Structure 1
């Protein structure tokens, strides 16, 4: 019998691939177009080195911190991701795992479980909102989240609806009916454990792909693709829209999807509590640099005024430490915990968080640091030309002058 515990995030990925139907697994690893950004998010961490001490390590090391007013035991949060059909308990299992390890969770508007079910098992939930339909609709969803106990709001802006993938897009049914089941039957038959989990629950093999958090409490939500279509049809928000929502919400507020210095400063200027340096896990505009390349300049520019998080490519605790040394207050993980969820449900997510915690601790020990709050750029080796700094006012003025000369 295979030991249910795994030692690395990549082993969780291997087990997820082995257990899930091809279409379901493909949705977890997908990136836009050629996948340049998708791969750079992960590989860029390998370009940064450490400058360790060999004497003076502390016997105990501290990882606790506070993000958007919530005390968490480690600088790793659960990033919001859509319908989590890789496990029968979905977002509720993830929320329980995060609570068990003392950290917070971002819950997607497109989650498959109602926010009330999720906040019931974890009191550190940030509700993630897409700019979907009217201002009135968006505010109603935010107020429902507040009533359910959400402690903060995350607004996701990093999406360009780029769908063309060089390796093909996974075929996921809009609704679960007999036709869809028959079409996916060969895939499901090849993954008996996945099928058994759903049969044993007394429900269809594939869960309904609905989004219950984009409607009023108790109503039946649209299908995932129905909600996605509404989002695509809604005009993207302006900074004035985000400022309005931040004011209406009145509590901790994160803008997710920042990659440019000017956007980071605008997020600060509208009063956002935090921002996330993110390119939607490589599902945004392909060719956008890895988030770790852009983190340092953004943290230097606005880190004294707001909290800065990084989202994208985290696979090890040492990756987390590199991000913190570059100025991040914490990181958010997506694929890593979804692979853990697919591999072993709630326990698998806890396993992933334990792996990251252990890796952070080892890196702190090697660097001679007692706390994550002591980390600086002096702890890492950044190769020349690694960072990407763009969107600065001086960059724009230089470009304007050049254009006038030409």
Structure 2
């Protein structure tokens, strides 16, 4: 039975979009300015966030006119998990762009057969997300004391996650030249009144939350103590800021502790140097992500794609190397794999899809990636992503950045 007219969403548009750029534009139009600003903002002058995308455009492809394969294989195995395409969901914090948040993203990941990364700053619990059936990897910052971290690991394991991601590539580099977006401590009546002028102009976003009876959740349920309330985002952020930063011995402890609790893969996210990649191997990790935190860490860090080949050459035969930062299309994925990455992780791209159309929007983004990868393989006359090599690319001289190489 169709819904009565007064219950139908009057702001709904054609849900399908053909590119991540279109998803981003729809997200920009749909979201309140502070919410959209939180998605796109890099640190300081923003040069690294721009460099992440721009560097992909410097790499060309070398297609064949004859010899294309009738079928192409996009699946692979990464961090011990079989995936249908080499595009993984990178963990991102509070997803107030859609009422279902991380649960919608996890369902999309499960539907498309890939890994779901869940942030410990997420707005939905690890139990809710793992219950979707997605291959969920729980992400942790080095925050709180060791007993607290053990409790969080045990909780994630009990929920059924398939691995742990330790994110260390985030510092206090902020001071955005264009100003940081306002993120309230919590959403209450006072906050709603103050921010009403920015929200009321976005009726589609307001309708999405209003029709479910929910308000944006700015707490971090995965950081709640046993039997206690979830801290606010800023409470969680304060805990992280006041925790002494880890040493390599701490990383080894974290990896060993997770191994004893779960026995599933431990991944270190945020590697940008060859020497750090080698230290990661020494610490016993199963994989690393070559990353500059999407341009939200130290501004002026080289584009992530520039650092892939030197790091993959150094350790790619020992552990799985993935990368994240600036991936917007399937051909970007192909370039990363040809340079030695096993897969890529996406963040902003799927958040824009989530904002534009919920779970279906995230699936749309993954389908865009899949279609682009398949098209590039066809043009290169390759039958599998496993066949990709740097020889299939046109890489300009001096493109790579081998930081910390000896």
Do these two structures clear the TM 0.5 threshold for a shared fold by scoring above it? yes
Question: Equivalent residue of 2:399, what SS?
Answer: coil
- Cα distance in 2 for residues equivalent to 1:118 and 1:227: 20
The equivalent of 2:308 in structure 1 is 295
The equivalent of 1:55 in structure 2 is 66
Matches within 5 A, 1:202-241: 202-204=213-215, 207-216=216-225, 219-241=228-250
The question of 1:21 aligning with 2:32 is answered yes
The Cα offsets for residues 299-324 of structure 1, whole Å up to 9 and x where unpaired, read as: 00000000000010000000000000
The Cα offsets for residues 128-178 of structure 1, whole Å up to 9 and x where unpaired, read as: 000011011111101110110011000001011111001110001011122
The Cα offsets for residues 84-142 of structure 1, whole Å up to 9 and x where unpaired, read as: 00000000000000000011111000000010000000340000000011011111101
- Cα distance in 2 for residues equivalent to 1:219 and 1:117: 18
State the TM-score, normalizing by the size of structure 1: 0.95
- Cα distance in 1 for residues equivalent to 2:404 and 2:314: 11
Question: Equivalent residue of 2:290, what SS?
Answer: strand
- Cα distance in 1 for residues equivalent to 2:134 and 2:334: 26
The equivalent of 1:126 in structure 2 is 137
- Preserved CA contact (<8 Å) 1:61 1:370: yes
The question of 1:113 aligning with 2:124 is answered yes
Question: Equivalent residue of 1:236, what SS?
Answer: coil
Question: What stretches of structure 1 of length at least 5 have no aligned partner?
Answer: 395-406
- Preserved CA contact (<8 Å) 2:187 2:218: yes
- Cα distance in 1 for residues equivalent to 2:254 and 2:111: 32
Distance 1:69 1:217, change over 3 A: farther
The equivalent of 1:149 in structure 2 is 160
The question of 1:96 aligning with 2:107 is answered yes
Matches within 5 A, 1:349-360: 349-360=362-373
- Cα distance in 2 for residues equivalent to 1:136 and 1:278: 28
The equivalent of 2:376 in structure 1 is 363
- Preserved CA contact (<8 Å) 2:99 2:214: no
Aligned residues: 391
- Preserved CA contact (<8 Å) 1:144 1:216: no
Q: CA RMSD in A?
A: 0.9
Question: Equivalent residue of 2:151, what SS?
Answer: helix
- Cα distance in 1 for residues equivalent to 2:214 and 2:380: 50
Question: Equivalent residue of 1:56, what SS?
Answer: coil
- Preserved CA contact (<8 Å) 1:24 1:170: yes
Alpha-carbon shift at residue 224 of structure 1 (Å): 0.6
The equivalent of 1:343 in structure 2 is 356
- Preserved CA contact (<8 Å) 1:63 1:75: yes
